[in-house]
Each structure stands twice: as structure tokens, then as C-alpha cells.
Amino acid sequence: MKRMATLAAFVAAFSFFGGVTAEMGVMDARAEARQTVQHSETRSRGSALRPGDCIGIVAPASWLEREKWEKGVRLLKKHGYRVKLAPSCTTANGFFAGTDSARASDLNHFFADDEVKAILCLRGGYGSVRVLNKLNYTEIARHPKLLIGFSDITALHTALGEKSGIVTVHGPMLGSLAGDHLTAYTEKEFFRGIESYEPLGALPTPKGAPMKAIVPGEAEGVLMGGNLSIVLSLVGTPYELKGDGALLFLEDVGVSSYQIDRALYQLWQNGLLHRVNGILFGAFTGGDDDLDPGDPTTAEVIDYYARLVGKPVIKDVPAGHVSNNAFLPFGVRATMKANDDGTASLVFDEAAALPPK
């Protein structure tokens, strides 16, 4: 039963691409309106870090055993940083690292704490969405600083961008930095990112793993997005991603191709895929393990929606639930190029942070 509606959709979509042509007719009718969408305003940003600064560690979602993150603390200290742990980092409460109120309080406190120069999330998992209605967005806007994380932390990226208007970072978390699979690429890009107060320029890619164009073209806008499932879960809430004139980045883990189709079709119907200027797909891992014969793969689903949207689309951005996890500042203006020869690039045109104080 789980696939009945989706398989019917794919019969229409993949058996003959007339469906794409019909949808594109609707898209073309909206082209003029899309061209009038204004780019998102420049967001407030915190200061870049330098050795000796304090990084605050928060656990806004799930908890993690100490032995799985202590190595990450040692890595931060090795690079010269001081670390301050929020109480929720050492608290387990069911699915979560402490109660909803406690986890929200930790975030509010660390944003207001002038000693803390950046906030690094312990891990994702589940629970960030449950603190959104308890955050002091006005005070956070008065104390912008880099909040870094991915996966479930997408809820915070979206809410803080929409409600507080600050730059945040899709990047590795403390648990990632402590993991046995931490790569030189991830470590280098993390510290380069938090210490830079100039535009980061072209996003480097790991050796032998270039980004690729799906739909050729060039687009410019503010980078937003994150985990597809979390972006979808915010639709219809006060924290929904608007994405007007943005470059939309998406990744996910452990979701089947039919679930990705369902999510992308809903984002098509609610208008997000119409409102953005371009789309970048990161890693989609572990979703094709239980495909039935004849099922479309994740790659085929992504390719279908890329061509349906008809805007510049890039895939294989090195970010998500993978060892090589890039530093992607959300809320800064960037330019993506998907070239006719299949090559692609993403260039950050604005700095993610101000000079250190």
C-alpha cells in the first residue's frame, strides 16, 4: 500500500514524459511572476573566530553518549579553541537531550552569552522542531553568531533565518568531528569556514568527487535549505521555508525513492520549487536498499524533478550524511553554474561572518 499512489504517479511520469511537458506549461505560465521575485535581504552575521575564542556546544535534538563526542572537544581544543558545554549535552530525556524547555533555554542562553562566539550542535537525530516556539528570536537577532549543524538542525537553520534573519551554517557537528570517519576535507573546510571573514569563494570538492550539472544554467541567490524531510515537515507551520529567489540545497538519509518523490512533489505543489532560482542536491544515502523490481532509483527521481522545475540544477554537492561534509553558509549570496559539459560550481559571493572582534 505504501507505494500505490507513488507508483501511479511514476507510471505517468516515467513511462512517458508528456507529464513533464504538461507541468512545464504551468511552470512557463508562472515564469514572468518568478522573474519579479526579489532576492532575500542580506542577513545579519556574527564574527569569524580565531584561536582562543569560545565555541558553545548545544544539544537541541537527540542526546549522545559522552564517549562519542569527547574526541570532538579535543579536536576543537587542538585547534586552539575553548569549549563551553550546555547542560543538555549531558542529559538524556527519552528521544531528546533534556526537556524541550531546557534545550531551548540552552540555545537562548548561548546566543545571549557574549563569551560564546559560535554555537556548534552536538548531533541531529530528532527534536529541534520542538524548541522552535520557545526561542527568543528577537534577542537572537540582536546577538547573531554562527550556529553550525545539519540533518535535524535544518529546523533551526530555517526558523532562525526566517524569524531572526541571521546567517547559520550547514556543516559537521561535534559528533561528526569526533567520528572515526572524519576526513581531512571535512576538518579543513570546517576550520577554514569558521575562521574566514572574507567570501569563501568557490566551494572545493573532494578529490575525484566533482559536482555535476543536471539542468544547465546559471543562478544567483541566497543559499537556504538543508534536510529534505525537515524542510517538508515545516510546510504549513510558522517556520516554513519561503525561499523567494533563493538557491535551494537539499539532502537526506535513509528515505526511499518513493518518499523523496512524495516530498519533492509536495514542495512543487506548495510553490517552493517555483520560488527558488536554482536547486543543489547533496548526498542522498541509504534510500535504494529495498527497491522493488521496476522502482525508480533516487537518482531517477531527482533527475525527474530537476527537469520538471526547469531551472539550473546541480547534484553531488559534498554535504549531508557523508564523511566529506562541506561548510555551507546559509543566508549568504552565492552563484551556481551548471555547465553544458556537465561540470558545475558553487561560489559564495558574500562572507559568512564579520571580522573577529
Distances (CA, A) of 174 to 26, 44, 53, 108, 221: 44, 24, 16, 19, 29
C-alpha cell at 236: 504549513
- Cα 155 to Cα 131: distance, rounded to the nearest angstrom: 9
C-alpha cell at 344: 558545475
Instruction: Mention every residue, 6+ apart, whose C-beta is less than 8 A from residue 295.
Output: 3, 7, 257, 258
Which residues are registered as beta bridge partners of 75? none
Which residues are registered as beta bridge partners of 278? 247
C-alpha cell at 160: 532562525
| Catalytic machinery residues | 151, 251, 321
Is residue 195 within 8 Å of residue 187, measured between CB atoms? no
Taking alpha carbons only, the member of 221, 234, 226, 242 closest to residue 325 is: 226
- Cα 313 to Cα 247: distance, rounded to the nearest angstrom: 10
C-alpha cell at 14: 516515467
